[in-house]
Structure 1
């Protein structure tokens, strides 16, 4: 079984993806890197390939969930033991990769989330984002029964069992939070490890104010429905 695959979903990230790939291969040369160019119309695929990554070019934009599931399906079929998600915009620091791999090697988690909030880091967010994070963390604690502080972090490592699950099903629109509930439903273990995060190197976020409002509504509804299903299942088990 191969060791680890870094999956980078990318939409029109030609200005940053090359530096991200080179930094990953420099910080952690034992991993393979695949960039999922999610319907990009710029030179993302060419730049990523020249930097040393394998590239899958999706003919249309599937969104972050579809791009990541493509990467997990590749990882499953290729037999990787671990898969790591890293953003193409340079916010995730590849210097933390060896630590995440070491932590996963302990065998006490099926997913490890690279967290901005389990320890004090240099990361600073806006007041509105902090409010949203507190709301989501509260809902997630209701759903899974224990705290996960950085519910929206896209810097994650999963083991072979989780790769197989994600290759079959992965939430599509804004999957980071919903995935936590999915893993809990399948009785898989989640843990957080402190990492540093930076400002994006280039471009701008696709998450507008309207999309943020839609995100909060959709994800909150999905979590609340999961909490209700869990309560109903417990009631049925007692009867």
Structure 2
């Protein structure tokens, strides 16, 4: 009998993460025995690919930087082509504890997309200022869209089940913040069931953070714009396994 981990593909977008990616891949294999890990080298110019391969990961090479959304779409398509039912995103910078994947998998029986939530009672991860305001606003609005309480809609630590994998392989957005905000709107409008589980996040183990504190106000404006454009797009109709629209 195939275990849930054997049916799950870890997709790890990585852009110049040579300092951390080897340790993160090794931790994935240690805590999730039997799982497959695909590192998507998102146009890095350092030794990210070599470090990932040295740790035992599969590596997909992108010729230039597409962003997290573009890298994840590669991962979703790889999963479909190679028979994986589930896809879980794990960041290459060490912020996501791979052990949390087990908690995400436990919710997959009743959900199509499971978020690892930083602000749901687990851990002490904190965000302040305009970026925190944006997260609160987005969570309140997207909770209504998804018809369930979501406290961390910008979390990249998320697990997609079979329906969401098929949806995202064709329609995962590549724009800035699209991989978090717009993907939730797409999933909700396609009638995917969205849930969350509390997880603890860690500080980066290497590289540079993607958002500097002085850019927090810009993040707030971009988050609002990302949500606005997500709502302008027409809903995606998701076909089930026998070809009917659901």
TM over 0.5: yes
CA distance in 2, matches of 1:223, 1:146: 18
Q: Find the counterpart in structure 2 of residue 45 from structure 1.
A: 49
What SS does structure 2 have at the residue aligned with 1:114?
Answer: strand
Q: Find the counterpart in structure 2 of residue 21 from structure 1.
A: 25
- Relative to structure 1, the CA distance from residue 143 to residue 102 in structure 2 (aligned partners, 3 Å threshold; closer, same or farther) is closer
What SS does structure 1 have at the residue aligned with 2:94?
Answer: coil
The worse-fitting range, judged by mean Cα deviation, of 22-31 and 166-175 is 166-175
CA distance in 2, matches of 1:50, 1:171: 30
Does the 8 A contact of 1:142 with 1:227 survive in 2? no
Task: Write out aligned runs for 1:2-81 (5 A).
Answer: 3-81=7-85
**Match among 169, 173, 191 for residue 167 of structure 1:** 169
Q: Shift of residue 207 of structure 1?
A: 2.6
Does the 8 A contact of 1:111 with 1:159 survive in 2? yes
- Relative to structure 1, the CA distance from residue 170 to residue 216 in structure 2 (aligned partners, 3 Å threshold; closer, same or farther) is farther
- Relative to structure 1, the CA distance from residue 130 to residue 211 in structure 2 (aligned partners, 3 Å threshold; closer, same or farther) is closer
**Match among 103, 109, 115 for residue 99 of structure 1:** 103
Does the 8 A contact of 2:129 with 2:216 survive in 1? no
TM-score by length of structure 1 reads 0.87
What SS does structure 1 have at the residue aligned with 2:85?
Answer: strand
Q: Shift of residue 124 of structure 1?
A: 2.2
CA distance in 2, matches of 1:96, 1:226: 29
What SS does structure 2 have at the residue aligned with 1:129?
Answer: helix
What SS does structure 2 have at the residue aligned with 1:49?
Answer: helix
- Relative to structure 1, the CA distance from residue 147 to residue 227 in structure 2 (aligned partners, 3 Å threshold; closer, same or farther) is farther
1:140 aligned onto 2:142: yes
Q: Find the counterpart in structure 1 of residue 158 from structure 2.
A: 156
CA distance in 2, matches of 1:222, 1:11: 22
Q: Find the counterpart in structure 2 of residue 233 from structure 1.
A: none
The alignment of Structure 1 onto Structure 2 pairs a total of residues equal to 228
1:197 aligned onto 2:185: no
CA distance in 1, matches of 2:128, 2:213: 13
CA distance in 2, matches of 1:166, 1:123: 28
Q: Shift of residue 81 of structure 1?
A: 1.2
Q: Shift of residue 82 of structure 1?
A: 0.8
Unaligned runs of 5+ in 1: 231-239
Does the 8 A contact of 1:36 with 1:57 survive in 2? yes
Does the 8 A contact of 2:22 with 2:51 survive in 1? yes
Unaligned runs of 5+ in 2: 235-246
TM-score by length of structure 2 reads 0.85
Does the 8 A contact of 1:91 with 1:198 survive in 2? yes
CA distance in 1, matches of 2:131, 2:226: 19
- Relative to structure 1, the CA distance from residue 41 to residue 25 in structure 2 (aligned partners, 3 Å threshold; closer, same or farther) is same
